[in-house]
Amino acid sequence: MTMYPNKVEECLNESLRKLQLEYVDLYLIHFPISIVSTGRDTYGHPSVDYLEIWKRMEDQHIAGKAKSIGVSNFSIRKVERILRNCRVKPANNQVEMHVYLQQKALVDFCTQNEITVVAYSPLGCRGYNEFLSKLGQPTKKLPDMLNNKTVVSVAKKHSKTPAQVSLRFLLQLGVAPIPKSVTPARVKENFDVFDFELDEDDMTAMRALEVGNSARICDFKVFGRITSHPNYGF
């Protein structure tokens, strides 16, 4: 569904009604491209500018319906454009981030501009191929950072799981990871990351696992012709 500027308030009002709230703590632009699906084709709408969406987001913040507003999947260049043209700057940028895709330049930029960073898929996304299959799309080889020998070694050193040290690594980079699990034991395990600290040797070893964009899981290529849009790219 395409997000037009005049839909920003409507969608937020609908969410507030369903949640029975007067405001949300954070309201995000999920992607810098408005996506159009015709049933047989999917592409980025050529005339919808995320800056116009942002202006309407600001209106919701000023009206008190969103305490904070932010973005998701935005590169440095795209955030810079908002900063040059905003009344209210983004409070948060939510991006894919894990030991193989650490996005140091983006995190440093956001930190310098007092924009918090949230890491989605911090442990990978094992269900992504199932999602692709449901859409009739070819599956892809997914990075398996939890079985990486360095991650496993650091985990054994601290008597923790690979997932726990992976989350702790991101926390010590100043990033807020948001892992997803439907298993109660794993949800509890993912919270249990505040009673230990990785030392500099651990951090150096895990920083060295950076692969870059080739390790990106959510590249949004599933949306067909979206890759030809001028705002595509990370």
**Percentage helix, strand, coil, to 5, in the chain?**
45, 15, 40
The rounded distance, in Å, linking the Cα atoms of 76 and 145 is 25
The rounded distance, in Å, linking the Cα atoms of 57 and 68 is 10
Annotated binding residue at 30?
yes
Which burial class, exposed, middle or buried, applies to 113 when counting CB atoms under 10 A from its CB (0-12, 13-18, 19+)?
middle
Type of residue found at 82: I
Place of tokens 């080739």: 214
Q: 182 near 171, Cβ under 8 Å? A: no
Tokens of 196: 């230990």
Q: Which helix (H) or strand (E) holds 227?
A: none
Could you list the residues known to form a binding site for substrate, using ranges. 30
Annotated binding site: 30
